[in-house]
Structure 1
Amino acid sequence: MKKNAVLAYFLAFIACISTAYAEAKSVVVVELFTSQGCSACPPADALLQDLAEKPHVLALAFHVDYWDYIGWKDTFAQPVFTQRQKTYAKRLGRKHVYTPQMIINGHHDVIGSHAMEIGEILSDESKEPQAAMIESLAKEGEISLLIKNSDNSRPTPQSEILVIRFRAASQVEIKKGENKGRTLSYSNIVTSVSKIGNWRGTGTWKASYASSGTDKVAIIVQGKNQGRIYGSAILP
């Protein structure tokens, strides 16, 4: 793609998602499945960097390990992230996993570098009221959570409550593989995913847990078996 075409592509993407934020009613969760060893991934990584700066998007990078055999072992990859992608593939009717892939709000599957399509999905999803409202309070090394129904939402199925820890940013010098010789920048790099409870979809759910480390923390309310995402928040 020529330089001018690339510029036009990204400007159109920015315009599309800017319109979405003006009408946003909820935070949209974007999960990028990526790899340092994938030559097609840097454009998607750059898109995620841009999305990570947007107020109504929770952008998360899950690094997978199935490209490590090419010659470069991804420094952020974990088998559990590969399994998360495989679970999505099975539920969404895909026979194979691939990179770069974005899953939006747990139920939209799109190639991670297709900026315009991503922008359109974000626009649509952001207009839907968030079904699960998440409130948090941090005090003396402990975080208290309260999850309840949104006043404007429809009843939701039983869901899982996930704690996702992520690193804000990092640069990696790639010494082998398809991206050999490049120094690549990454944002919102997921380091762990933990289930802390279940929400029955109505009423309120309360819990507290210890806060530790320097990673950022997000809470996601997601339908069982990695279903639709009904609510999310980045904790202070």
Structure 2
Amino acid sequence: MEASDFSQAQLAAAISSAATPSKLYDTLSPYEEEAYLLSFQEDRPVELLSHFYAAYFFSHLLTDQIYEARFLTKRMPQDLLHTDNSLQNCVTLLRAIWQHKHESVYKILRESPWPDLLKPIVQSYDTYFQDKTLREVSRVYEAIRPAAAASYLGLDPESTARGDTAAIEKLIALGWTRDEQSGLLYPKPIADDSQKDARSYTDLSQIMALIGSHRG
């Protein structure tokens, strides 16, 4: 995208054509300076700036640049940051990620009113965050209660605690095991995927295919 083509249409094309999170980040990164300069114009394109900064923010999250995403929020035009709903959602999401509030992360991703242009990226990060959390749970826990597992993975902990087996069955389908006597779940160890960034950020992973349909 040429500098002169920095427009809503070109931003949409850049988002839809990026095959990986890294490519999305690399495509958007050079335009931060131009976006910043545009923010000082009297007739600044507010919608374009909002969409750009939000998309650029998610490209940071999708490439595991959490600290850099935080710094990006400091570089955004602060008057826009404090008045724009999408950017406010980004800040709230970042705080939830930073504080390891998994249920809040899923709630913000799934229930906040994201613009249509951003929805594919938001959904992709939902998948990515769920996949990443599954790996973390599998590494950290030898055993875990079903309701806790459901909470970590964006499922419904209350219905799981009441005996709803849907979430449990989906986890077992992923290779987890359950002790019928104690009711505990035993995660299946999952090796790190060194090629994680090679997948398309618009593709649904196996995790979403198996457990993403059960929304809390």
Q: Scaled by the length of structure 1, what TM-score is found?
A: 0.23
Higher helix residue share: 2
> Which one has a bigger Cα radius of gyration?
2
TM normalised by structure 2 equals: 0.25
Greater strand proportion: 1
Larger RCO (CA within 8 A; separation ≥ 6) = 1
